[in-house]
Structure 1
Amino acid sequence: MQRRRVIALSAAVLAAAVAPGAHAQAGYPDKPITMVVPAPPGGGTDLVARLYADLLSQELGQQVIVDNKGGGNGNVGTAIVARAKPDGYTLLMQYSAYHSANPALVKELSWKPEDFTGVAMGAIAPHVIVIAKKVPADDLKSFIAYAKANPGKLNYASVGAGSVPHLGGVMLNKAAGIDLVHVPYKGAGPATADLVAGQVELMVVTPPSVSAHIRNGNLKALALASDKRHPAFADIPTTAEAGLAGYTLDGWFALFAPAGTPQPIVDKLNAAMRKIAATDQVRQRASQLGTVLVDWSPAEMDAFARKEVAGWGKVIRDNNITID
């Protein structure tokens, strides 16, 4: 009898200790959620975040607030979420280069990829090579010829040193045998604005940032750095079709939570993201932006992210790429 009482008392104590956390998970969310975007408004990461935020608010029954925390090549906003309480109320809509390239580029990074757990993929975007309207070229071959005739005189914009557009420019120089000068910006918004204004000549960027400018003729799209054309830009040739075989470049925008976030919360967020991504509304908008949607579990998202960190680290080391 005494032994039974001890066991019962132990079970009661354990239940009391576990109950608050379990109740918090069961009732999640019971207050607004902040989705940090580590970039200024107007770029691809911001657009994808806002594509999901309002619908997540409806799906979860709590407001999802997009909070732009640009600066430090994405590291300011990323570090904020890395240090946040892992309770599901502070999330990160992350851009691929910030997550995958910065660990190999920044010696004293205030966060590491292991500080996060993957929740869901927001969108994958093949990069497009776009040039300013003033540039005297209408296709990739003629631009390469123009660039070869003007070595070191043409500039390419990026959304920050170490970003995929920066690395894509390095790879374009190497693949095409040209010498474009890198001009880093603090996000896709200001970079695109200067490209439209003709302050720089070229950018390799994800379609969401420039799709409207391509359609209205403010920018000229030379090629999609992908193995196949995108339905929303069916008239834009792939790089192989445009004469630069082997040059492909994908970017992505994914939702992460701080490491240690309870799995039931991660699973609930993942289910909500995947449900939203399956709607006609989001599929049509994602296609208009030139992105591709994938239906991944948290485990699949995590595995992909780890592979990306390893792959981009190798590219950076093999090409001796450093932050300007």
Structure 2
Amino acid sequence: MRQTLGAITLALLFGGAQAQTYPTKPVTLIVPTAPGGTTDIAARMLADPLGKALGQTLVVDNKGGASGSIAAIAVKRAEGDGHTLLMQYSGYHVITPAVSKQPLGWEARDLQPVANVLSAPQVIVVRAGLPIKTMAELIQYAKANPGKLTYASSGNGSLQHVTGAMIEQQAGIQMTHIPYKGTGPALQDLLGSQVDVTFGTPPPYMAHIQSGKLRALAVTGKSRLASLPDVPTAAEAGMPKLDATSWFAVFAPAATPKPVVDKLSAEIAKVMATPAFKQKAAEQGAAADYMNPQQLGDLVKSELVRWAQVVKASKIEAD
């Protein structure tokens, strides 16, 4: 018992000393998607001000692919000293484990919660050339053309994938799922009319909706977005059970000392509390939604249970 208490005390003292000097070199923030999606946008919104607050350069490193597993494994294997972090997308963190038939190479317990950064509903968008202006018209079109509508996602197990499957189930329609290595590539093919529909958090789509290149049909949150006031909620559009919100949060390797995690989280909270950060998030159709390590950890636990139930009920499987 004395040895155990001694080891704990030593670890706390060592972690405290690390926190006082941390960081001692540039910090890498790994993103599990290609550039252009909300996860990438969240990382880049945070990188410059957080780097300045920490007194070190914060480098954003995109490692897309394998539904987030390439990035998660890289952070899992990194030294637990706070110099390698993950900007995680909720779909990869709490949905991919439920839909994957094969071991991912990482688990939620391998990644220590640091702070939640953004939260946002999904926006359902179609390419402008599609003769669809409402959710009712999308459902009518899909029923008349089974499997013809293609919907893009940021990968198997992403919230976009699950949102598409939920729409199919709730509306009694059939579409074709096209997975990508992130929202950025999916968006480019949507703009190029290679796919018809997608469902994603608003930031990467806002400019294209406003320019008329994409058409927003509904948002999956409980209320309309201030940045898209004319776009109805899914409930208003006739799909009351379609409620899907994403979150984007920072995680560290499991072995990272608590004092280092707490210092990181506190600095992230300060950045997020600035009017500039809040305004930028709102303009993107998202919300600056800080959660400390304990709150984020509790969210992960509840979301793992919730989405496992949704996946099982909807009979969703990775393609």
For normalisation by structure 1, the TM-score amounts to 0.92
1:94 aligns with 2:84: no
> Following TM superposition, by how much is the alpha carbon of 1:319 offset from its aligned partner in structure 2, in angstroms?
2.0
Query: Which of 100, 103, 108 matches 1:113?
Result: 108
Moved more, 163-172 or 256-265: 256-265
Counterpart code for 2:50 = L
Give the greater-gyration-radius structure (CA). 1
**Partner in structure 2 of residue 65 of structure 1:** 59
* Kept in 1: contact 2:111–2:253 (CA 8 A): yes
Counterpart code for 2:186 = A
Q: 1:133 to 1:262 in 2, by over 3 A?
A: same
Q: 1:131 to 1:270 in 2, by over 3 A?
A: same
Q: 1:185 to 1:17 in 2, by over 3 A?
A: closer
> Following TM superposition, by how much is the alpha carbon of 1:198 offset from its aligned partner in structure 2, in angstroms?
1.2
Aligned length: 311
Secondary structure, counterpart of 2:288 in structure 1: coil
Query: Aligned ranges for residues 240-255 of structure 1 at < 5 Å?
Result: 240-255=235-250
1:166 aligns with 2:173: no
**Partner in structure 1 of residue 127 of structure 2:** 132
Secondary structure, counterpart of 2:18 in structure 1: helix
**Partner in structure 2 of residue 308 of structure 1:** 303
Counterpart code for 2:180 = Y
Q: 1:119 to 1:15 in 2, by over 3 A?
A: closer
* Kept in 1: contact 2:117–2:291 (CA 8 A): no
Counterpart code for 1:54 = D
* Kept in 1: contact 2:15–2:257 (CA 8 A): no
**Partner in structure 1 of residue 19 of structure 2:** 25
Secondary structure, counterpart of 1:31 in structure 2: coil
Query: For residues 178-205 of structure 1, what are the alpha-carbon distances to aligned partners after superposition, in whole Å with 9 as ceiling and x for unaligned?
Result: 1111111111011011111111111111
Q: Distance in 2 between matches of 1:18 and 1:104?
A: 35
Query: Which of 211, 216, 222 matches 1:221?
Result: 216
Secondary structure, counterpart of 1:130 in structure 2: strand
Coordinate RMSD, CA, aligned: 1.7
Query: Which of 246, 261, 264 matches 2:259?
Result: 264
Secondary structure, counterpart of 1:209 in structure 2: coil
**Partner in structure 1 of residue 4 of structure 2:** none
Query: Which of 179, 182, 193 matches 2:177?
Result: 182
**Partner in structure 1 of residue 186 of structure 2:** 191
**Partner in structure 1 of residue 72 of structure 2:** 78
Query: For residues 2-50 of structure 1, what are the alpha-carbon distances to aligned partners after superposition, in whole Å with 9 as ceiling and x for unaligned?
Result: xxxxxxxxxxxx9999866543221111211000001111111001000
Query: For residues 260-296 of structure 1, what are the alpha-carbon distances to aligned partners after superposition, in whole Å with 9 as ceiling and x for unaligned?
Result: 2111111111111111111111111101111122232
Counterpart code for 1:305 = V
Counterpart code for 1:244 = M
**Partner in structure 2 of residue 319 of structure 1:** 314
Secondary structure, counterpart of 1:109 in structure 2: coil
1:40 aligns with 2:34: yes
Q: Percent identity?
A: 44
Runs of 5+ in structure 1 lacking a partner?
A: 1-13
1:294 aligns with 2:268: no
Q: Distance in 1 between matches of 2:237 and 2:12?
A: 60
* Kept in 1: contact 2:169–2:314 (CA 8 A): no
Q: Distance in 2 between matches of 1:152 and 1:56?
A: 45
**Partner in structure 2 of residue 10 of structure 1:** none
